[in-house]
Chain A
C-alpha cells in the first residue's frame, strides 16, 4: 500500500499552495487586455443559460451512461466546440445557430430524462454535432481587441468545468432516488430547451 505522501494529489496540493504563496506584482494598467481576455472567456459560457444547461446536460448524460462515455463525451464536446468556434472566428456562415443551441438543450435534456443508451459512437456524434453550434456562438462573439489565446483558454476551461459540474451531480445516479432526480433534472433541461427554441424562432 502506498503512503499518502506518494500520491499525486498531495503533490498537486503542495504545488498549488506554493503558487498561491508566490508574491506577484500588480499592474495598474493591464497590457493588451490580457487578463480581461481570460476572464471574459471564462465568464462567456456562464452568462448564457442556454449554454449552461446544455453543457451540464452533457455531464449528466455521461454520468448516466458510465465509463467510457463519462469522459468521452466531455472530451469530445470542447474539441468539436473549438472547431465551431474556429468557424465563427473565420466568419463562415452557420444558419440556425440559436435553433441548434436550443435543440441541444432540448434533446440532451430528453436523453437524460429517458436515460437514453445509444451506442457510444452515436452519443459522441450527437454531442459533437451540438457542440459546433455552441462553439460558433462563442467564436463569433469574441470581443474586439482581446487576446484570442487567453479568451479561448478561458472559455474552453469554463465549458469543461460545466461538464464537470454535470458529472459531479451525476454521481447521485448510483442511488435509486438519484436516478429519479437526474431524470427530473433532464426534464427541466428539456423544458428549458423548448423555451429557448420558442425564443429563437419567435
Chain B
C-alpha cells in the first residue's frame, strides 16, 4: 500500500514538474490585456450582486434541505449557467432587472420560509436560475473574443460559491444558527422588493 502511494506521489510530482517547465508566453503589461477571459468571467460573477446573491440564496436553500439537495444543485446551476451563457452569446443584449427581482424574491422567500421543497422542484428551480442568469450574462459578453472561456469562468465561480455556501449550511444543527440563515433569506427578499420598486420607478 505504501509503495503504491509512493509511486502515485512520484507520478504527481513528475506531472507537476512537467507543467512547471512548460514555456508559456509572459504578458509584461497585464492591465492592457486584463486577467484573461476565464478570470473575467469569475470576477464578473463575484462582483455582480444581482447574479451572486440569488445563487447564494439557492445554495442556502439547498443547504437547509440537506447534503443530497446541495450535491444536486452544485452541478445543475453551473451547467445551466454555462448552457445559458453559450446560448446568450448569440442573442441580443437583454435587460435583466425584472428577472433579478424575481430571483431575489423567490429564492430569498424560500430560504426565509425554510420551504420544504422537493428534490425535483429544487432541481427545476436551479436549472432555471442557472440558465436565465447565464443567458443574460452571455448576451453581454458576446462581443468578447474568448466569450466561451468567460462563460466557463462564470460557471466555475458559480460552482465554487454554491459549494461554499451549501456546505456551510448543511452541517448546521443549532436552532439560532438556522434562524440566522432564514433571516439572511428575509434580507434577500426585502432587497428584491426594493429592487422591484426601483425597476418599476
Contacts and interface: CB of A to CB of B under 8 A. Distances in A.
Contact of B187 (A12, A71, A78): A78
Interface in B150-201: 164, 167-169, 171-172, 177, 179, 182-183, 186-187, 189-201
A148 B183 contact: no
Interface string A160-171: 100000000000
B157 to A, nearest CB: 14
Interface string B128-165: 00000000000000000000000000000000000010
A79 B201 contact: no
A89 B198 contact: yes
Which of B112, B189, B197 has most chain A Cβ within 10 Å? B197
B172 A8 contact: yes
Interface string A4-28: 0011110110010000000000000
Contacts, number: 87
Contacts of A99: none
A81 B190 contact: yes
Interface in A124-183: 139, 142, 148-150, 152-153, 156-157, 160
A153 B100 CA distance: 14
Interface in B92-109: 100
B171 A85 contact: no
A contact residues, range: 20 to 34
A90 B186 contact: no
B171 A75 contact: no
Interface of B: 49-50, 53, 100, 112, 164, 167-169, 171-172, 177, 179, 182-183, 186-187, 189-201
Interface of A: 6-9, 11-12, 15, 71, 74-75, 78-79, 81-83, 85-91, 139, 142, 148-150, 152-153, 156-157, 160
